[in-house]
Amino acid sequence: MKIIMLGAPGAGKGTQAKKIAEKYGIPHISTGDIFRANIKNGTELGKKAKTFMDQGLLVPDELTCDLVVDRIQQPDAARGYVLDGFPRTIPQAECLKDALDKLGSRIDYAIDVDVPDENIVNRMGGRRACLKCGATYHIVYAAPKQEGICDSCGEALVLRDDDKPETVQKRLNVYHEQTQPLIDYYNGQNVLRTVDGTQDLEDVFKQIVQILGE
Ligand code: AP5
Ligand code: MG
């Protein structure tokens, strides 16, 4: 099963993608997590990506596409995967489609987690992230068992650099300009499914399971 998660920054793509990955036994591939891991490890890719990410801008397509096309051909992705945060532009979607065409494969579902902008700004200030394993928490809606510590790997949780209110607004603007057109793009390919992302995160997941099947 090959799935794309669509939705604004903070809509809950990462939260739901992790749950999908666990339930269906497929890898969760988040370009944001890959970039953050590279920043943490001080790689060249990380240095390049950071200048864009800190401003709330998209990392250029040429740094992103090859990375994902390579990742989806790894052995653990043979049975499928859930892509979170990619594609984010029409050229990225076209790049993915070309690669999948060559592999004789296609996307099964593009799930749009729909949340209005007003709800997003509230959520972001409370988010805490683990830069080691990519787990995401919220101080109210999805608190870790021990405050400030990742349940999965024990790493200290942080507020992401790009979760400051002014950067969140910038990311929302970038989303509406560059990423939202993908909703029509995948609708045109008959793979778009929309879920109401304003509900409790377990209820959002139930809607997704109804779409994907038990
Ligand atoms: P990325 O890491 O992908 O960030 P994003 O799209 O802005 O999305 P977020 O991770 O902020 O939100 P999410 O939808 O995953 O929400 P989450 O589940 O955490 O990208 C970061 C940056 O990297 C980009 O700005 C760009 O610069 C660069 N980049 C990445 N991919 C790229 C690409 N393909 N091309 C170019 N550049 C790229 O949830 C948010 C919070 O809400 C959490 O605290 C969570 O606990 C809480 N929450 C979730 N669901 C609910 C719910 N139902 N109710 C209440 N709270 C909830
Ligand atoms: Mg995320």
- Buried b / exposed e over 143-177, threshold 16 CB at 10 Å, is ebeeeeebeeeeeebeebebbeeebbebbbebbee
* pLDDT tens profile 197-211: 999 999 999 999 999
Number of domains in the chain: 1
H/E run at residue 97: helix 90-103
Q: Is residue 76 part of a domain?
A: yes
User: Which ligand is nearest the CA of 205, by number?
Assistant: 1
**CB of 142 closer than 6 angstroms to any ligand 1 atom:** yes
Q: What is the mean pLDDT of the chain?
A: 95
Q: Is 160 a catalytic residue?
A: yes
The total number of residues written for the chain in this structure: 214
Q: Is residue 133 part of a domain?
A: no
**CB of 15 closer than 6 angstroms to any ligand 1 atom:** yes
Q: Is residue 85 part of a domain?
A: yes
Give the environment of ion ligand 2: residues with CB less than 5 A.
14
User: Which ligand is nearest the CA of 33, by number?
Assistant: 1
Active-site residue among 36, 50, 123, 171? 171
Give the domain extent around 88.
Answer: 2-116+171-212
* pLDDT tens profile 23-64: 999 999 999 999 999 999 999 999 999 999 999 999 999 999
The pLDDT > 90 percentage for the chain reads 91
- CATH number of the domain at 186, please: 3.40.50.300
Indicate the pTM of the whole model: 0.94
Task: Please confirm whether the linkage preceding 75 is cis (ω < 30° from 0).
Answer: no
Sheet holding 81-84, edge to edge: 28-30, 81-84, 2-6, 109-114, 192-196
d(CA 69, CA 72): 6
d(CA 63, CA 48): 9
